[in-house]
Amino acid sequence: MRVDHVSYAAEIDGLKATAQRLAKRLGVTPVDGGIHPRFGTRNIILPLADRRFVEVVEVLDHPASDKAPFGQAVRARSEVGGGWLGWVVSVEDLSEAEKRLGREAAVGSRRRPDGVELKWRQLGVKGLIADPQLPFYIQWDDESPHPSGGANSNVTISGLQIAGDPDRVCEWLGLPADQTSTVIDFTFVAPHGTPGLLAVTFDTPKGPVTI
């Protein structure tokens, strides 16, 4: 289990403007990720080093976005101005998490503008909606490329600041958050306040950047 990516809901000026603004701060080149037909969303990827990325995502005016938990989560975050939606951990096999949490994973896919299709299964978005400090799980299809693939970037995620309770996150993951990465610093604040991912710190060639 490892931190795979962080998701950022588009702000009031839309997906492209939000992604460009974040990409400029980090010094990376944004990549059009395409549409999630099952979730009613679309994204732009900011590829990072260490097989990680930032997903900037917006909801579409599509019935799927009203039914799919991920579409619901993106819409709710964007409607209050956008910002960090959550963090995501990848696993090689979701069956253990499905059994422990008593839930079935949802199938996801998207086709990039270059025609390449990405496929995965994800679990726990309803948990994220109910308690935004919690990450959701993703298992990439064995034949699917990772969104960070081919990235010419040495920008890395160095820290996550989370409003919440580390014991609750540990219960959800089955292990402490800091065991999902040896290079990311996890800081938990305001355990009795509104939970969620508050900030992400990146190491860039120009120094640390916190968003």
How many Å apart are CA 43 and CA 98, to the nearest integer?
26
Whether 185 has a pLDDT exceeding 80, the answer reads yes
Whether 192 has a pLDDT exceeding 90, the answer reads no
How many Å apart are CA 84 and CA 86, to the nearest integer?
6
Task: Tell me what the mean pLDDT of segment 144-167 comes to.
Answer: 93
Whether 102 has a pLDDT exceeding 80, the answer reads yes
Compute the Cα dihedral for 153, 158, 162, 167 and give only its sign: positive
What confidence tier does 61 reach under pLDDT thresholds 50, 70, 90? Answer: confident
What confidence tier does 62 reach under pLDDT thresholds 50, 70, 90? Answer: confident
Whether 104 has a pLDDT exceeding 80, the answer reads yes
Cβ atoms of 197 and 162 within 8 Å: the answer is yes
What confidence tier does 139 reach under pLDDT thresholds 50, 70, 90? Answer: very high
Cβ atoms of 127 and 137 within 8 Å: the answer is no
How does DSSP classify residue 145?
P
How many Å apart are CA 18 and CA 30, to the nearest integer?
11
What confidence tier does 170 reach under pLDDT thresholds 50, 70, 90? Answer: very high
60-69, 96-105, 164-173, 178-187, range with the lowest pLDDT: 60-69
Cβ atoms of 18 and 12 within 8 Å: the answer is no
Task: Tell me what the mean pLDDT of segment 57-72 comes to.
Answer: 89
Q: Kindly list the distances between the CA atom of residue 99 and the CA atoms of 18, 103, 191, in Å, as whole numbers in the listed order.
A: 37, 7, 27
Whether the predicted model's global pTM rises above the 0.85 cut: yes
Q: What is the reported pLDDT for 160?
A: 98
Q: What is the reported pLDDT for 210?
A: 98
Cβ atoms of 182 and 173 within 8 Å: the answer is no
- Among 15-29, 62-76, 188-202, the range with the most confident prediction by mean pLDDT is 15-29
How many Å apart are CA 9 and CA 119, to the nearest integer?
21
pLDDT, the chain, mean: 94
Cβ atoms of 78 and 72 within 8 Å: the answer is no
Q: Kindly list the distances between the CA atom of residue 107 and the CA atoms of 87, 139, 188, in Å, as whole numbers in the listed order.
A: 18, 10, 31
Amino acid present at 49: A
How does DSSP classify residue 166?
H
| CB atoms inside a 10 Å sphere around CB 100 | 12
Task: Tell me what the mean pLDDT of segment 125-139 comes to.
Answer: 95
66 or 197, higher pLDDT? 197
